[in-house]
Homo-oligomer: A and B are copies of this chain.
Amino acid sequence: MKNDIRALRTARGLSQEALGTALDVSRQTINAIEAGRYDPSLPLAFRLARFFALPIEEIFDDGAGEKAGS
């Protein structure tokens, strides 16, 4: 599942380490999620959304909304 975490993080001038600390996860976890290696758990997705003050659906994109046309 795609996400905008790297853009949101760098826009705030934070390192992966700093964001991990703020969300109580390791920097490797932030790196893996940014790289799309795996999706965060739902609780971590909530923490990310709250941290960036955005709805989960605006940060993550599971690709089910933009089917064909438009």
A residues with a Cβ closer than 8 A to B are 1, 39-43, 45-47, 49-50, 55-57, 60, 62, 64
Q: Copies per complex?
A: 2
Nearest-Cβ distance from residue A41 to partner chain B, whole angstroms: 7
Q: Which residues on B sit within 8 Å (CB–CB) of A1? A: 42-43, 46
Q: Which residues on B sit within 8 Å (CB–CB) of A49? A: 57
Residue on B nearest A50 in the bound complex, by CB: B64
CA distance A52 to B26 in the complex (A): 33
Q: Which residues on B sit within 8 Å (CB–CB) of A45? A: 42, 45, 56
CA distance A9 to B64 in the complex (A): 21
Q: Which residues on B sit within 8 Å (CB–CB) of A57? A: 46, 49, 55-56
